[in-house]
């Protein structure tokens, strides 16, 4: 992880243990760094799993492995490798995933399909099986770690470890949900962020866990972007150990189903915000809200067009209320929009209305707003009831520096 912490960073919370999930970390030495880079989480028998995976047409072997294993709905362990994404590595990459799953399954006495694997880092370099197996052996023999150590071990260009916790009352029992996540660049998911892992002691059937995670994702991970680039390895997995003792959630009619859905959505939002706050080179968190669109889907596409615009992002980095760049991003989105109905605001101040600049608006509060760490942009299309909110960060020289030197 980087030694220069993002100015938008938040402290790592005190994450409680989750019954039935035990994390361990070890050094596989995937890169020449003096830190743990392999995470191994064992899961008790009966653990349910759900996931959302990258929509990239060039996915890693790990993503393909998880996609097949998710159909079975059960898990006994998670293995995460940091420093090597193992993507675009052909049969050698697939062999590495199979070797990792087989070794972990042998240790736990389960099927390889019960092992979930994720990797992050440089694309195009096969994951060295000897290092992976040695790292796993070290993890098997390591003492259990806390969630902070696990969050640190899965990071790459992250500048701080990311974790979140929430609780819910389900069937009269308090259930705990804990999550760790990594991500800083190559963030523009259609499903999830780079790598995120959620653990709960709630008893949840796999189908309902999948439905709840997919719904939460749509309003959280799929609403963030750092640079417009969707990773080959994007993975979010949720594991439910069932140790809380509640009657298993099987659908929306189950007692506590609404509370669980709300808690999971809250946790996913917390995790998603942590990723945007650590955008490579970021100095400002930007919230973009689009209203008055013909549909929510249309509003989302327009909001993401604004969020992914280098011209908008650099204007915010320069603390310049250049609303013309917002107009440009709305116009290029390919969604219904009428110039003469458009309104734009920065913070609480409307700067354009009915397709024109607001005559004589006071720039002082706008300038003050843009000097802050958190910036709001609002766009109203005046066409319908569709609305969406997305989050991004500014684009600075730091982003170029980090990515120009990434492989060196």
Domain boundary among 277, 312, 327: 277
User: Do 253 and 307 belong to one domain?
Assistant: no
The verdict on 294 and 269 lying in the same domain is no
Whether 107 and 246 share a structural domain: yes
Question: For residue 331, which of 306, 300, 354 has the smallest C-alpha distance?
Answer: 306
Q: Is the pLDDT of residue 184 over 80?
A: no
Compute the distance between CA of residue 91 and CA of residue 100 in angstroms, rounded to an integer.
14
The residue range of the domain holding 346 is 285-404
Task: Based on the fold, state whether residues 255 and 297 are members of the same structural domain.
Answer: no
What DSSP string describes 121-179? Answer: EETTSPPPHHHHHHHHHHHHTSPP--HHHHHHHT-SS-SS-EEEEEEEEETTEEEEEEE
Reported confidence tier of residue 28, pLDDT bands at 50, 70, 90: very high
Residues 207 and 300 in one domain: no
**9 in a structural domain:** no
What confidence score (pLDDT) does residue 185 get? Answer: 66
**Residue at 396 is within a domain:** yes
State whether 375 and 250 are in the same domain: no
Using pLDDT thresholds of 50, 70 and 90, give the confidence band for residue 191. low
Q: What is the mean pLDDT of residues 122-129?
A: 92
pLDDT higher than threshold 80 for residue 70:
yes
* Whether residues 343 and 217 fall in one domain: no
Q: Which of 223, 253, 277 is the last residue of a domain?
A: 277
Q: Is residue 373 part of a domain?
A: yes
Which of 277, 308, 329 delimits the end of a domain?
Answer: 277
Query: What pLDDT is stored for residue 408 in this prediction?
Result: 47
- DSSP structural state of residue 348: T
pLDDT above 70 covers a percentage of the chain that reads 96
CA–CA separation, 342 vs 353, rounded Å?
6
Task: Report the distance separating Cα 175 and Cα 208, nearest Å.
Answer: 16
Give binding residues for substrate as ranges: 156, 182, 193, 280, 403, 408
pLDDT in tens, 258-310: 999 999 999 999 999 999 999 888 899 999 999 999 999 999 999 999 999 99
Domain count, the chain: 2
Residue 392 tokens, joined = 């991004």
Q: Does some domain include residue 14?
A: no
289 is an active site residue? no
Domain assignment of residue 234, yes or no: yes
Mark the binding-site residues, compressed into ranges.
156, 182, 193, 280, 403, 408
The answer to whether residue 7 sits within a structural domain is no
CATH number at residue 128: 3.60.70.12
CB 181 within 8 A of CB 12: no
The model carries a pTM of 0.93
Residue 407 has pLDDT above 60, yes or no: no
The CATH number assigned to the domain holding 299 equals 3.10.20.340
User: Do the domain assignments include residue 390?
Assistant: yes
Write out pLDDT tens, residues 222-257.
999 887 666 777 899 999 999 999 999 999 999 999
298 and 163 belong to one structural domain? no
- Which position among 193, 225, 241, 392 bears the catalytic label? 193
What is the pLDDT at residue 194?
75
Does residue 37 register a pLDDT over 90? yes
């Amino acid at each position: 992880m980087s030694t220069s912490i993002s100015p938008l960073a938040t402290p790592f919370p005190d994450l409680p243990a989750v019954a039935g999930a035990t994390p361990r970390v070890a050094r596989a030495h995937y890169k020449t760094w003096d830190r743990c880079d392999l995470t191994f989480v064992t899961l008790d028998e009966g653990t349910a799993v759900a996931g959302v995976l990258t929509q990239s047409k060039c996915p890693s072997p790990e993503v393909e492995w998880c996609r097949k294993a998710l159909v079975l709905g059960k898990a006994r362990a998670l293995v995460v490798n940091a420093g090597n994404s193992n993507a675009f590595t052909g049969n050698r990459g697939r062999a590495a995933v199979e070797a990792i799953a087989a070794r972990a399954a042998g240790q736990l006495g389960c099927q390889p399909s019960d092992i979930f694997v994720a990797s992050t880092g440089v694309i195009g370099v096969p994951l060295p099986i000897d290092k992976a197996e040695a790292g796993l052996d070290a993890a098997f023999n390591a003492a259990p770690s806390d969630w902070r150590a696990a969050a640190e071990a899965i990071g790459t260009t992250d500048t701080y470890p990311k974790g979140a916790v929430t609780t819910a009352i389900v069937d009269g029992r308090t259930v705990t949900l804990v999550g760790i996540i990594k991500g800083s660049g190559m963030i523009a998911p259609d499903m999830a962020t780079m790598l995120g892992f959620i653990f709960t002691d709630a008893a949840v059937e796999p189908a309902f866990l999948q439905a709840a995670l997919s719904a939460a994702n749509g309003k959280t991970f799929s609403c963030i972007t750092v640079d417009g680039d969707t990773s080959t390895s994007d993975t979010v997995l949720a594991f439910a150990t069932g140790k809380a003792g509640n009657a298993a959630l099987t659908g929306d009619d189950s007692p506590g189903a609404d509370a669980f859905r709300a808690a999971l959505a809250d946790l996913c939002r917390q995790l998603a915000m942590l990723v945007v706050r650590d955008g490579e080179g970021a100095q400002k968190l930007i919230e973009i809200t689009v209203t008055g669109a013909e549909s929510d889907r249309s509003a989302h596409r327009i909001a993401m067009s604004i969020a992914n615009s280098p011209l908008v992002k650099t204007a915010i980095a320069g603390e310049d209320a250049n609303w013309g760049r917002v107009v440009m991003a709305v116009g290029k989105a390919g969604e219904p929009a009428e110039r003469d109905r458009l309104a734009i605001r920065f913070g609480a101040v409307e700067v354009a209305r009915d397709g024109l600049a607001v005559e004589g608006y006071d720039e002082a509060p706008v300038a003050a707003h843009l000097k802050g760490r958190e910036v709001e942009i609002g766009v109203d299309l005046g066409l319908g009831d569709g609305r969406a909110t997305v989050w991004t960060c500014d684009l600075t020289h730091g982003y170029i520096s980090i990515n120009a030197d990434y492989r060196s």
